[in-house]
Copies of this chain bind each other. A is one copy, B any other.
Amino acid sequence: MTNAKAFAALADPTRREVFERLSRGPRAVGDLANDLPVSRPAVSQHLKVLKEAGLVTDRPDGARRVYQIDPQGLGQIRAWLDQFWDVALEAFKAEVERQADEEDDKP
């Protein structure tokens, strides 16, 4: 279950911010750090976490290093969520009906 890393990665607000910016196109580390409220090393560390979670990939570009979104980690989370989606809706419907029955007995 590597989806653990993906969830932990996206749990941090700064990391979600980085991820959202990368969704608008590949960017270099310093470029990302420029319009973020944290230092460049912080961004670098966040990117490392995102990379190990399969959420981004990186490629060298001269002295720079360009990061972009990786659909793999995204897919893992989606698969895990979809596993519960149907049963969740079903349970929700059952609960609504159960509450309706409760209303019939009380008032």
List chain A positions with a Cβ less than 8 A from chain B.
4, 7-8, 10-11, 13, 16, 19-20, 23-26, 57, 59, 68-71, 74, 77-78, 81-85, 87-89, 91-92, 95
In the bound complex, do residue B78 and residue A91 qualify as a contact, i.e. CB atoms below 8 Å apart?
no
Smallest beta-carbon distance A41→chain B, Å: 23
Report Cα–Cα, A54/B92, bound state, in Å: 12
Which of B57, B71, B92 contacts A70, CB < 8 Å? B92
In the bound complex, do residue B57 and residue A95 qualify as a contact, i.e. CB atoms below 8 Å apart?
yes
Smallest beta-carbon distance A40→chain B, Å: 23
Oligomer copy total: 2
Q: Name the residue of chain B whose CB is nearest to the CB of A82.
A: B78
16 additional contacts (CB under 8 A) given A71-B92, A74-B85, A78-B81: A4-B13, A7-B7, A10-B11, A11-B11, A23-B87, A25-B91, A68-B91, A68-B95, A69-B87, A69-B88, A69-B92, A71-B89, A74-B84, A77-B81, A78-B82, A78-B85
